Each structure stands twice: as structure tokens, then as C-alpha cells.
Structure 1
């Protein structure tokens, strides 16, 4: 019997280990569920008819959802149950909401139920059963109460009873109602006391003794009194200030230990005495490190800018795994380095000092969102002068880059007061701020003239960026200085910035071969060089690099760049090469039609312009019709656009010569005679000259010949022979 009992205990152990703890919480705009698994699992979240389903690959798990509704309501999550057949956990959704899951750790899965429609292309909106796309969840339609009908009416026996029976029934109803009210009030009191006790144990509410004016016994409450919070006998409730948690960008609670303010780290500004006292207190009587004193020594080293030494203290004097990762990350920052493993990730929205360190620890190429600029600038103002001079320039630039120009200016002014008068880094920061705000001319004017070392290199990088925005070339000495900085830095931290500056500088100077060589392997830089080639490149450079380019490489360029180069090639007289750059469907219709006409493909031009009708360029449409020989359609296009001269010209291309009567009718009485009509009136013989004397007839023919020459000359001035006879 004992052996069987032991065997049952061992068999129950693994079954108990397969239980999944489910926690919940409300976060304003979304409801959060946290699943804590005993071991790492493979999970799939998909749509079900009732909402969503969570399927776990492997053995069937049991979910502990007993306390899921203690902190959340049923506004979004209506129900939670496990499917007995598939073992999936089913979530019933009762709102126009969507679910977004993410793994916090391999054993912790977080599912957020957010209001609104799901994002486009979300894989979690596919059906869990067959993987098909499911429609968005709609809010439940609750039935409205229907009007009472005759069949719903009941028999009122009190109205038919006598006075004695009615009074007895009324007394019975009153007694029953009073008893029910007493039971409900007692249940409500018990529930409220239980909830208050649970809130007190969790730290959400605190218990206080009531003031003397509050009733001390339930018997003193007046009859039919409404029980409110402060009316409970012997209990008074008040909400704690700051109970709302401080959340990160991803929704996790900001760590309390992240409040690393620099003010109390050191008692004085004497590094020698402070560091000596901190080191002397590291060990106790038996040479055992005291964790509290170790942290004090670490903070002292961080205060005075000794990051590597502080990191060594954390890793050598504390047990393995107990070193504070936030302080380790901060030790890299005070040494002007990026932490290899960023412990401040997604903490830039916290309302503590950690927002400043998260801003500084982010990679240079990463755009930060929801930056708490107020907390970052507040923490920066509390730093000592030497740390403000160390971090000021970078903090101001990153705040400016995140769109918080107000707090960036606060940091800049504080940084200016922390550094010596005339420090070139202040002018450099002013230039950077002007550059980010879109004023390259002001940025170039604010650059320091006397700088050395990394400050001189940063000033030169800012100058190149300002010239790039103005499309102005650099001087030869500046390019030589950039190359010297690049050779000195090698593959250091400034290599990406130097490569960008050298590539832009070479392109601005017209050396596109060197520019493409510098930009090779960096897509953004290559796009910049192609853009400069289209804007500023000579025709010989276009022939060298643009003609015959690989189609796959050409397709990676932005539409604006491809359009610009296609126009340049067309204007240069290379319509075949321009058509290679205009093969994609996103090229404008007008440009595609011009290139097709230049290549003799009028039908393709009309197909391209058909998508723009009736707003297409009438000159291009008429030219396309004329190229096909359809001069009547060309004339009609000009006529519809109100271009009378163009319509007449198209009629001449069609050999549709106007008669003198038509010309006279079309001409306005206030306008001069139409030259073609004048010439048409000269056609034919004058019968009066046949009977005139020879001298008079000769003089008449001479005058007619002179008038004919003048009319033909006027006609040729308005419609040259080539234009009149040969259409474009």
C-alpha cells in the first residue's frame, strides 16, 4: 500500500508541473494576458468563431484561469475555456478588438487584446483550424427588450382580491422584499470587505482608522441608507498616490532600480577622496564583500566617469548573476561606448532617469518612438557639470532627432553652461540642430572655425551634410581632410559616417566613380549617389553609369530617381536608354508617352495616356494621333482643348485646305486677314485683264505678282513649308 502511494505521488508530480499559470491586467486601452509555461513551448494563436484560440504543440496542458477576472472586466474578454478535444485555450471576444501576442521569454507568452481592427497582414487573424483569413471581430449585438403583447400580460390577483386579502398580500410582499434586501446588503458587505482586504495585501489600498464623525457601528446607520466606501464600520479606504504603474514602450512595468539619479552618488567633487573612501569600505572584517558598499563604490566610479572600473567591481565583488545589468550598461555609456547588450531597450518612455540612459544607449541608426523628453531633460539637468559636458551634445541631438525640439533646446542651454566659454562643441551642436531643422545655410554658418580632434571631424561631417542638402560641392582641402580622417579611423565607430561623407563629397564634386565605390554595399548611400547623378551628373556620366544598368539593380532605386534619369536620357537624345528606365508601371503617363513617341511607338503612347483621359496633355495626345496618321483625331483633340491654331495645323497635315469662303467666315472681323485665305483668293485668272490694253494688263499682272509674293511670304512666316507639308 505504501509503495502504491509513493508511486501515485511520483506520477502526480509531472502532471502538476504541466499546469500553466494565467495572469491578467487592465492597461487602459488594452487587456493583457500573461501565460507562464513550465517549459519552453511552441505556440500558435489564431482565430476561432468565438474569438481567438491558443494552440500549444506537444503534451496537453492545463490552464489555471481561476483568478483571471480578479483584475479585469468582461468588456473585452468575455470568456475563457479550454477545448476538451484539441486542448486549445479559447478566448471569447465581445468587442471590435484584435489580439497581438509576443514572447517575453521562452517560457512567458503575453497576449494583448486591443481595441480596433487588426493591422493589415496580421498572421494572427488566420483561422486556427484551416489557416484561412477570418473577418474582423465585430461587437456583439445584444437583444433589445421587446414590447409587451397581450399574450405577455399576467393576471393581477391582488386587484381581484378583497381588502383583507390585499393587505395580507402586501404585508407578505413587504416582508419578502425586506428579507431579500437584508440578504443582498449582507452579501455586498462581505464581498466588499473581501475585496478591500485583497487590495490591502496587494498594496493598492491602505487601511486607516476612521475619523470620529464616521459611524462606528452598523446599528447606527439609518434605515435604507446607501452603503458607500467610507460608511463601512471601522474601515476607511484611500487610494495610494502613484498606484498607476510606469510602463515601457512594450507595456512592461519600468524597473524601479532604473531610477539612477546622479545627484547622491558622491558627497563631494573630490574624486581622490571619494574613490578612496568607497574602495576602503568594500570589504567587511573577514574580507567578505558587502553588496551595499559595492554598489556605493560602483555608483561613485560611475559618477566620476570610470565606467570600466565600475564594471570590474560589479563582476568581481558580487556573486555570479547578481550584477545589476542597468549599472553595467551605464558603465559603457560613461565611457562613451554603446552597451554590447542594451539593458535599456524600450525604456525611453519611462518617467524616471532611465529614459535618459535608454536614449543614449539606443543604436545610432534606430529611430526611437515615444521618447519621454521631459524625464530625459530633467535627469540631464540633475547631472554634475562633467557628466553634462560628456552627454550634452549627444542627448540634445537625439532629442532633436526624435522630434522633441523644446527639450533639446533645454539640454543645449544646460550643456553650454557646463562647458568652458568658447568651446567649439557648443557651436557644433547649434549647427547640428539647424541642420536637423532644415536650415543647411544656417548650419554651415554656425560651424566652429577652430576645432581639433574628433570635434574637427564632426564639424567636417556636418559641413558635408549641409552641402549635400544644398547640392553644393566641397573644396579640395575638405575632401583630403576627410580621407585623412577615414584612414586614421579605419574600421572604428565613425566609419559609416565617414563613408557617407566621402561618398556624398565625391558625387558633389562630379567623381561618381569614386562615389559609387564608397557607397558599394550600402543601399541608402547608393540611392543618394544615383539621385545626385540624375540631378547634377554630366551627360558623359549618364552614358557611363545609367545606360545598360542591370535591371534588378535599377528596380531597387526610388521612383523619383528613376523618373529623373529617364527624363535626362530622353532630353539627351537617347530614347531607347530612357525606355529601359521607364519600363515599370509606376512611371508617369506623360513621360512614358514622350519616350514611346520618341521611339516611334505611337500606340504605346496612346495606351499610356488612356489612363489619364480626359486630363491627359492634349499636345501629347494629338501628336500620338498624328504619328499614326489620324490627323482628324489630332485636329479634334486640339479643337476640344481650345487650341484653334493647333487644329488648323492638323487639318493642313491632312491636306484639308480651307476654302476662301471658309477662311473668311472663320476669321474675326477685328483680326487681321488670315494668310492662307489671302493666298487662296489669288488662285484663278482675272477676266478683265484679257480685254485690257497690253500696257495696262502688264501693270495689273505686275501688281498681282507683287501681292502674291507678299501673301506667300506672310503665309510662310506663320506656317513654314516644312511644317505645312510634313507633320511631326
Structure 2
């Protein structure tokens, strides 16, 4: 028994030694070489400097390092050698490059050593000697052997003698080429440069010139270099710059709006995804080829089967094939989204974003995949119409109206007409969708009456709902009321549709119809938090809403909601409030400070703040409204400036009236304001009747009695009074009495000349 036990121990020893092996893997990377050591158990280790590089010391003895595959994938540029010291069992790394080692643990049993280029970090503990712990000097690079000088070709390159044959002429010593001490790759670079210059000359980029003859040493022992014909900072390049070619490319790259490459045309060419028009046989063959011998789906055949289904308009079935037979995440996102679009649905994700500019079928699908039917820019209308014409007739009948409307929204009416005509040929002549598409096209071009006249009268289902959308939009743009039966039909469609994809369009049409019919309370309730729809309703309220509802909704509106409205809408409502005699409410709508200057000045003046009105109008001088400017001066009591403002604008009647109020009226101005034929006498055609003066509301003036007019008497009374301080008291009192009598007489004369108006 003892011998058997000893035998078993000897047999187990190799197995135990094999289990104590350390796997060493290596790899070269940019800037460092990596060693990965995997130990059988967690170990304590230490890395330090040795005489030839680094040493790795493991506290546990008996380990065997597997170094057989170290140099299979790395060079000896950094790790010159690696071996195990037979005396100490340390793993020694031979390093003679300007490198340093950084170890770290990747796990409890894995140690990684990176030999990196450059000097080690300051104070690195791995630069201490493994034996005594002293700091070792950094590694110095090994001397590089100096290559032999290249003497295969003397002097410069002779363009006229590319073979290198001697010309018999001696190169002057001061113009001799400098010998370069470099490696042998200089010759390869020189050959490459010659080839590139030759290619550039062939393509016309480089202009070649013959070499000038050498200077005559007898006449010019020290020739001067020729003057450069180009600026010193001129840049010479052999290869063309990026994006600039020598010859124009007949096939420019197909790019998206943001500059990315468009998908290949074959990946989305739905019209060519079936061999014939026999749908039954094509679909049967495609489905039969999905599974291989052991009922394993072939991804390529699954994709082909999905393509065949989509060619014949079966989008949901194609999507089910890809989901059922392809691994998760391997279905093409473009094809998955395409399966939604050919059924007339919106894809949950839009991988066609920014592809509307592609010159392939991607432009059509990107146009249809835009969320909410929003208008897009940079639409390649030619590619859209070309792809649409290549679709099967059944698919053109489904996608035609939406494609044409979106092309119209993008501003491409020509290609929209191409799509409309193709759609019209693909459906029955009496199909109401044809009339609906014609009405939508007229609406987009601005023919509102023609759009309403072209609407189908016997439409049902979604076609009837689309006709209501077009009708309400036409009435909204014309600000005409919508009939009650149409509003009831919209409410029925909204109830039936629920929260479907057309809910936003139904809400918009219903809110517009309610507002146009005068029910603004219901319209605002439908709009809810939709800011764009709320702005439409306020615009309709300001333009056509009754005054009672305007006051109900405009007065006391939340300031944030009021400020969010466009400037034109706020100005319109403020003007209507001014007309209604509510300047205080109008002032609330002008608090943003961005209303029209004249309107804001009117509001300020109506609220008793003429100074604010003048400040607002001063920004527009001299183009400010003169009537509003003069009214502001009148409100301040400055009649002279107000009269001057009227006089400048040509309103002499108002100016004369203000001059009377201010006491600055003069008879000369009165006479100058009378028309010439009023002073020419009876011989000039003047009647014997009195003439009304040019002053608004002024007295009558006799045509031949201009010497003793009552106005002259009044003008004399307005002359500057005599200084009373130098007049004796009795004389001053007598003068006041005389002036009082004259004033009473002048007033009586003026009253006598004013016409009497009979009271009703």
C-alpha cells in the first residue's frame, strides 16, 4: 500500500505543476506594448528596475510562466527580451528604449504591465531597484546604426535627361547639392515625388519649363539666383485639394441635407423588388424561400421576402416577417419605417430624417415620413416624382394625395402636378379623392373660391373628413362663417377618431369653425394649450369678433398669454379697445412696448399722458403723425407749438383756430388765408354774398369791406399795452376804461357779423 501511495504522489506532481502555470499574453498598441499575466490564484507581486530592464517578483514560488506566444504578435522595439531568472524565479523584462513600465491589476488573478514610450512619471515606485530599492537612471535609447551615404545619383534631378546620363558639364561648387545624411527611404520619396510631378504635368496642374543653360563662369563667376516669379508665401501642391478635382465628376456624391451620404438607390427601390406583377406567385415564392433545410431562416431571403411584400403594398405583413424571422436588432430600420409608410401610417422612428434632398427613392420616403406633415426644405422634387411614377398602381392610389400635398407645401407645384396626374390615372374617374386633391391644390395656390367649388359632394369616410378640412381652411382664410351642419360633421369625426393621428387636424378645423361662427368660448376650450391655434383664434376675434365677446376675453387676460400673441394681433385688439372707448384696457395690451408708435401714442394720450405720447412720437420725427403730435401739444397747453405743427403739415384751418386760442392770431395771416378770388371784387366773379374765411368756424368776411373789419379792431386791441408803471394813476385808469369800452364794442361787432343759427 505504501508503494502505491508513493506512485500516486509522483503521478499527481506533473498535474499540480501544470495547474501552477502563468499565462502570458502580449499585444502592440500605439505608444505602448502590453503584457497580460493570468495567475492560477491571487498573488502578491512587486515590480522594479533591474540591470537590463524590469523584474517581476512573485511571493509565491513554484510558478511556471508560459512565454511561448509572447512574440507572436509584438516586435522587439520595446520589449527586447523576456525570461525567467533560474536563481530567483523572477520574470525579467529586457528594455533598452526610452520607455517605462506601469503595472496594474485587472482582477484578483490578472496583472497587466504596460511598457509605454517616454519618461516615467515623477516619483514612480516602479523605477526603484528591485534589489536594494534605490532609484535607477532612466533608460537611454540604443545607438542607431548610421546608414551608408546614398551615392547612386549625383547632383540634382535633370528633367531633360531622366536616365541620369552625364551631360559633360560640371556643376559649379557653390551650386552643388548638399549631401544628406538620411536613411534609404529618401530615394523612395524622391521617386514618388518625380512620379507625382509627372502626373501633375500630364493633368495640367504643373507647368513644366525647360532647364536654363548654366551661367558662363568667364563672364559671371558668381551668378545671382533668378528673381522669383511668385510670392514667397505661394503654395505649390501636386495633389488636388479635398473636394476639388482636376476634371468635373459626372456622378457627384449623393448627399443628405446635413452632408451625410444617402443610402444606396437599390436599398429603397421598391418598384424593382418583384420580378412580375403576379402578386400571388411572387408572394408564394418569397415565403417558401424564407426557411432553409433545417427550418433555419436565411436573413437575406427574409429581407427579400419582406421586399416582395412591400412591393405589393403589404407593409404590416413585411414588418411581421422581419420581426419574426430576424434576430432582435438586425432588421433594417429603413425597411421597418418603409413598411409603415406604404400603409399610409407614420413610423414610430424616422430614419429618413434629412434625406429629402437625396437623388433617389429616399427623397419620397423622407417627404412622407416627416412628422405632422410639416413643410420641408431642400426637397428633391424630381426624385420624388420619379420614384412615385415607378411605384405600382395600387400604391400610387394610396400615396398620391399625401405626396402631392406635401410637395405643394414645400413649394414644388410642378412635381406636385406630375404626382396628381399619375394618381388620377391610377384610380377610377369618379373617385372623390381626385376632386379632393384638386381642391387641395387650388387651396395651396391661393384660389380659395376654386378650392371650395372643386370639393366632392358625395364623399364618405376619410375623404369626407379631408373635404371638411379643406372647406374650413378656405373659410378661415377668407374669414367667412362655417355652416352648422359642417360643424356637426366635424364634431362627429372628432368623437369617432378619438386620440388618433388626425386629432390635431380635427381640433384645428373644429376650433376655426367655432370661431368663425362666433362661438369663441368653445373655440378657446378646444384650442387648450396649443399656442399656434390660440394665436389663430385671437386673430379671428380681433378681426371679426363681436364687441361683446372681444370685451369678455380681452379684458383681464393673463399677461403671459397676452404677451405670447403676435404683435399684429395685439395691435389690432388694442385698436378695437380704443374704438370701444376703453383706453385703460388698451393700455394693458400695449405694455410690451412693441406696439406701433402711433397706436401707443394714441393710447397714452387717451389715458391722459401727453408727455408719454410725445416721447413715443419723438422717435419717429419728422415722420410722426402731425395730427397726433399737435393733439399731444394741445393736451399740454402748448397751443403755439401745436399751431406750428398744423401749419407745417398744411392744415391752416386748425392752425388758425389754435392761434386764436393762444392769442397769437394776426390779420395778415387771416388775409393771406383768404382765396384770391375772394378779394378780387365783383368784377373777378365774386358774389355779393359774404365769404367764409379759411379759418375753421370763423366769421364771414365782406368782399369789398376790408378796411374797417371787426377783425381789424380785435387785432388792434391785441397790440402790446403801454407800460402802466410810467403812466400817472388817473391816466392809467382812464386808459383801462377806454380799452374796456373798445373791447365791448369789438365783441358786439363780432357777434353781429356771426350768422344766427336757428334752433330746432
- In the TM superposition, 1:558-597 aligns within 5 A as 558-597=566-605
Q: Which residue of 1 aligns with 2:674?
A: 667
Instruction: Give the conservation status (yes or no) of the 8 Å contact 1:258–1:326.
Output: no
Q: Which residue of 1 aligns with 2:450?
A: 442
- In the TM superposition, 1:61-140 aligns within 5 A as none
Say yes or no: does 1:611 pair with 2:613.
Answer: no
CA distance in 1, matches of 2:33, 2:258: 32
Instruction: Give the conservation status (yes or no) of the 8 Å contact 1:262–1:384.
Output: no
Change (3 A) 1:420 1:656: same
Number of residue pairs the alignment of both structures matches: 514
Of the two, which has the highest radius of gyration? 2
CA distance in 1, matches of 2:188, 2:24: 47
1:612-654 Cα shifts (integer Å, max 9, x gaps)? 1111111111111111111111111111222211110111222
What is the deviation of 1:9?
A: 4.5
CA distance in 2, matches of 1:552, 1:259: 50
What is the deviation of 1:224?
A: 7.7
CA distance in 2, matches of 1:408, 1:277: 37
CA distance in 1, matches of 2:187, 2:420: 62
2:409 pairs with one of 393, 401, 408: 401
Instruction: Give the conservation status (yes or no) of the 8 Å contact 2:494–2:503.
Output: yes
Q: Which residue of 2 aligns with 1:147?
A: none
CA distance in 2, matches of 1:641, 1:536: 34
What is the deviation of 1:189?
A: 4.7
1:432-487 Cα shifts (integer Å, max 9, x gaps)? 11212222122111111221110010011110001000100011111111111111
1:568-605 Cα shifts (integer Å, max 9, x gaps)? 00001111111111122211111111112212211111
Q: Which residue of 2 aligns with 1:60?
A: none
Structure 1: runs of 5+ lacking an equivalent: 18-84, 86-166, 198-221, 230-236, 686-703, 721-728
CA distance in 2, matches of 1:648, 1:448: 66
Q: Which residue of 1 aligns with 2:709?
A: 681
Q: Which residue of 1 aligns with 2:518?
A: 510
CA distance in 1, matches of 2:168, 2:422: 85
Q: Which residue of 1 aligns with 2:86?
A: none
CA distance in 1, matches of 2:300, 2:307: 11
Instruction: Give the conservation status (yes or no) of the 8 Å contact 2:275–2:282.
Output: yes
Q: Which residue of 1 aligns with 2:565?
A: 557
Instruction: Give the conservation status (yes or no) of the 8 Å contact 1:326–1:343.
Output: yes
CA distance in 2, matches of 1:546, 1:374: 49
CA RMSD of aligned residues (A): 4.1
What is the deviation of 1:404?
A: 1.4
Change (3 A) 1:629 1:16: farther
CA distance in 1, matches of 2:334, 2:197: 37
CA distance in 1, matches of 2:198, 2:302: 41
1:276-332 Cα shifts (integer Å, max 9, x gaps)? 121112222222223332222111111121111111111222233322211111111
Q: Which residue of 1 aligns with 2:192?
A: 190
CA distance in 1, matches of 2:568, 2:325: 59
Say yes or no: does 1:713 pair with 2:739.
Answer: no
Say yes or no: does 1:433 pair with 2:441.
Answer: yes
CA distance in 2, matches of 1:651, 1:528: 49
What is the deviation of 1:668?
A: 4.3
- In the TM superposition, 1:274-313 aligns within 5 A as 274-313=282-321
Change (3 A) 1:498 1:14: farther
CA distance in 1, matches of 2:608, 2:248: 81
Instruction: Give the conservation status (yes or no) of the 8 Å contact 1:566–1:581.
Output: yes
1:321 pairs with one of 308, 314, 329: 329
Change (3 A) 1:391 1:668: closer
Instruction: Give the conservation status (yes or no) of the 8 Å contact 2:379–2:410.
Output: yes
Q: Which residue of 1 aligns with 2:492?
A: 484
Residue range with higher mean Cα deviation, 254-263 or 442-451: 254-263
Structure 2: runs of 5+ lacking an equivalent: 1-19, 35-120, 122-166, 200-208, 213-237, 239-244, 680-690, 703-707, 714-745
Structure-1-length-normalised TM-score: 0.64
CA distance in 1, matches of 2:247, 2:610: 79
Instruction: Give the conservation status (yes or no) of the 8 Å contact 2:404–2:416.
Output: yes
- In the TM superposition, 1:235-250 aligns within 5 A as 244-250=252-258
Q: Which residue of 2 aligns with 1:542?
A: 550
1:249-277 Cα shifts (integer Å, max 9, x gaps)? 12111122664223332233332222112
CA distance in 2, matches of 1:240, 1:287: 52
Change (3 A) 1:708 1:245: closer
1:403-457 Cα shifts (integer Å, max 9, x gaps)? 1111111111111111111211111111111212222122111111221110010
Instruction: Give the conservation status (yes or no) of the 8 Å contact 2:373–2:406.
Output: no
Change (3 A) 1:303 1:290: same
- 3-state SS in 2 of match to 1:364: helix
Say yes or no: does 1:367 pair with 2:375.
Answer: yes
Structure-2-length-normalised TM-score: 0.61
CA distance in 1, matches of 2:33, 2:482: 72
What is the deviation of 1:170?
A: 7.1
- 3-state SS in 2 of match to 1:670: helix
CA distance in 1, matches of 2:468, 2:484: 13
Q: Which residue of 2 aligns with 1:252?
A: 260
CA distance in 2, matches of 1:653, 1:434: 61
CA distance in 2, matches of 1:669, 1:195: 94
Instruction: Give the conservation status (yes or no) of the 8 Å contact 2:700–2:754.
Output: no
Say yes or no: does 1:349 pair with 2:357.
Answer: yes
Instruction: Give the conservation status (yes or no) of the 8 Å contact 2:319–2:336.
Output: yes
- 3-state SS in 1 of match to 2:631: helix
Change (3 A) 1:170 1:710: farther
More helix by share: 1
2:344 pairs with one of 331, 336, 356: 336
CA distance in 2, matches of 1:438, 1:195: 62
Change (3 A) 1:653 1:267: same
CA distance in 1, matches of 2:32, 2:171: 58
